[in-house]
Structure 1
Amino acid sequence: MTFEHKVALVTGGAEGIGAGIVERLSKKGAKVYIGDINEDKSLTLARLFKNVEFLSLDVCEESQWQAAIETIERKSGQLDILIQSAGISRPGSIEEVDLDEWRDHMRVHGEGAFLGCKYAVASMKKSGGGAIVNISSVESIRPGPLFTCYGAAKAAQDAVTKTVALHCGEMGYNIRCNSLHPAATYTPLLEQYLASAEDPEALEKVYAGMQPLNRIATVDEVARCCLFLASEDASFITGHQMYVDGGVLAKPYPSGQGA
């Protein structure tokens, strides 16, 4: 896969999976813009690569999306790739979470994905096409009891992904839109959970044991799959949900549970 002469925007690119995607896209020749609210971490990452820049972008704010796309078009001519990796995850059961938590998750994942796709499509169709990859989660397909808000918000994002894929196909825009669904991955958020646990090693084994491969994914493993969906190698793939989950979604439900 090569991304020479391609221009990409990665939201949530300051750390975690987003940062891994920024690094791989840059090394493959793309011009990459980090769209994030964390300026310090974004600039630290951008300084490592000559073809990476930071754009201040709160994915919940429509005006910031408009400004970001306008800046990219002005400076680089066009937008070829949008990777939506910005997200939040605050676990809680239906009895623990409140309406504010619900709205926070829906704004970041639901409204964020909607706005990103809306303005990316408007830009990409002017230049002959492009690729959108929304970083979802296995929790959108099979949510756990502590992911009331996160699972629902990611499912909303999935619906946006499919409708965008169908619309762009019907309109002949040559814009593909897919979603990527990781399971437990070694990100700063996961490491924070482990560090705060009474027994980090035991909790790590629990996370690893959820996957039939019996380990936690690395950021680079997820990033490589994302680059495939964004590349010309995936030119006939759209509206697709790619699972990077170590086999989680292939596992049957426990006896007496599920469909």
Structure 2
Amino acid sequence: MKDSNRKPNYDLNPAELYNFLKEKKILELYHANTVATSLLYLEQKSLLSRQFVEENNWYQTLQYTDEKDKALGIYDNIFLDMVDIHSYLSRPNFYGPFLFIFDIEILVSGIIEAVRITKKNPANWDPAGRTEDWYYSNIEDFKADYMKGDKIADVGKMIILQNLNGKLPIVPYCSRIILDNPDVHVTIDNQKIYLINIIKEYFEPYLLDSHYKKIDKGTRHKDLVIGCSCWKKYGSKFNKELADFRRLFHKTPNLNL
């Protein structure tokens, strides 16, 4: 018989999540971010909470959810996705074009003591709402909801990591990193240059570092895109929403393309 007075525990066992994901043949976890913020992570050798970055007075690009995350008390948390949103939805990931891909073994590495799993994207949470509306209180309920044919609902189910002091090491559990090619040319000193070649140069000093030698590095849609809307959407953003395009792809806030 269940104790009706017991408070729900939203801190779930990462080993239970690991076992379920492995059963579903989901073997990787994902974190997407902007070029500028990802460069900081590589420099610091860790994924960082936005609060940790802010407290250290480092630069990170703004996310539209920042103020809401502060109000919800999740600004010092680190987020991982269970799907590669870009591939899963055949469109750019709104959080950024640089993707860190972790082996699910990180869940049973001892680094992570507990996980929280969101029922929907925190961007859609009501700050006046109830915790039980935000998180699953057991793995069984999550398993019953996940991968049932609603891709948007799946994307909203994120892993939130607390109690990491704002840092999740990239090595040794990050196995791959992928940079989106936006298929955009920019003009610099009267010369047209393919933007992805400039962006690769931003990352080159870090990716040649021996610390990252075991991580596979790649570019998404290097030459040709089929079955994905990302080039069309990146091109439209470049032509119509240049400020947001810069937020995604600039290494500094004031870089002029």
- The TM-score by the shorter chain falls in which range? under 0.3
> TM-score, normalising length from structure 2?
0.24
> TM-score, normalising length from structure 1?
0.24
**Higher relative contact order (Cα pairs below 8 Å, separated by 6+ residues):** 2
- Normalized per residue, which structure has more helix? 1
- Normalized per residue, which structure has more strand? 2
